[in-house]
Amino acid sequence: MPPQPKGFRVANKILVVEDNELNLKLFCDLLRAHGYEAEPVRDGREAVERTRAFDPDLIIMDIQMPHISGLELIEQLKSDDALKSIPVMAVTAYAAKGDEERIRDAGAEGYVSKPISLMKFVESVGALLKPEPGP
């Protein structure tokens, strides 16, 4: 395989864990429009397994989901040696006082409240993705 041109890199892979179909489509479409590879996960119970299979550079995690909360999932991911280095950006409609602190205490590196500002969402994603090491 020939060497890649300087500055060229493969699109960052982002796993989107969101049970609301409209939000899931919005987040994935927005990420793809900005050059990211987005992988949707509709059921939080599949999130850890899908994280292992997809090997994302970032996980976007809804907090309020049926069956298992995003907080529980973040704690599971952060307690797993193979997965704990993947940054997590929490997205929640329940932005009550103390929520951001609880979410960050669980291990999330980023936090965005719904309804999202599209620019803030994209900026937050970019800020959490580590630049690829240069040659």
Averaged pLDDT of the chain: 89
- Is the Cα dihedral 25, 27, 30, 33 positive or negative? negative
pLDDT at position 4: 46
pLDDT at position 115: 87
Containing structural domain, residue 110: 13-124
Among 20, 24, 16, CA closest to 47: 16
| Rounded CA separation 119/84 (Å) | 27
Within a domain: residue 52?
yes
Within a domain: residue 8?
no
Which CATH number is 66's domain given? 3.40.50.2300
Read off the pLDDT of residues 49-64 as tens digits, 9 standing for 90 and up.
999 999 999 999 999 9
* Whether the predicted pLDDT of 130 surpasses 90: no
Q: Please give the distance of CA 7 from its chain centroid, rounded to a whole number.
A: 24
Read off the pLDDT of residues 8-40 as tens digits, 9 standing for 90 and up.
456 899 999 999 999 999 999 999 999 999 999
- H or E element in which residue 81 lies: none
Within a domain: residue 33?
yes
| 134 three-state secondary structure | coil
| Rounded CA separation 97/134 (Å) | 41
Within a domain: residue 70?
yes
- How many domains is the chain partitioned into structurally? 1
Within a domain: residue 100?
yes
